Amino acid sequence: MIDKKLLEFKIRMQKIRNILKNLNGLKILEISEIPFDFKILKKSGYYEEQKTPNSKISIYSKASDLYAWIIQCLQLEDGKILFLLLDSFPIKVKILNAEIAVKNLWQAREITILNAQQTVLFEICCDSRDEQHYLFDFYYL
């Protein structure tokens, strides 16, 4: 008999590995097999519908301006270590080239990361609060 949960877990992990092998500009240091506990976000205000974004940029911005904005908001720099959240799993990475990493990560039109200490969550996305802008939010955990 096949363990359905184990099979689902293996499929999720393979999906993550497939995404990671196509990302340039960063080095994978560790793939956690324990999902991020999103329950801790409740205390940080993550689920508040009226939250004002910390920053925003028009969805019609030039790609070069958008990438520069993402790098600035996420405080990315070459050599920095952080955790990228993919399918709820934290992936410890080292930024080798911030510009290349952002271009690759932005293909999904959403980036969620944790700082190296896992005390701050950063997120860039487009959501129902303002569909004409990409929004940047950060949350102290």
Positive or negative, the CA dihedral 77, 78, 83, 87 is positive
CA distance 135 to 126: 6
Q: How many other β-carbons are positioned within 10 Å of the β-carbon of residue 9? A: 14
Domain positions in the chain are 4-140
Give dist(CA 34, CA 2) in Å, integer.
21
Share of the chain above pLDDT 90, in %: 69
* 39-91 confidence digits (pLDDT tens): 888 888 888 888 899 999 999 999 999 999 999 999 999 999 999 999 999 99
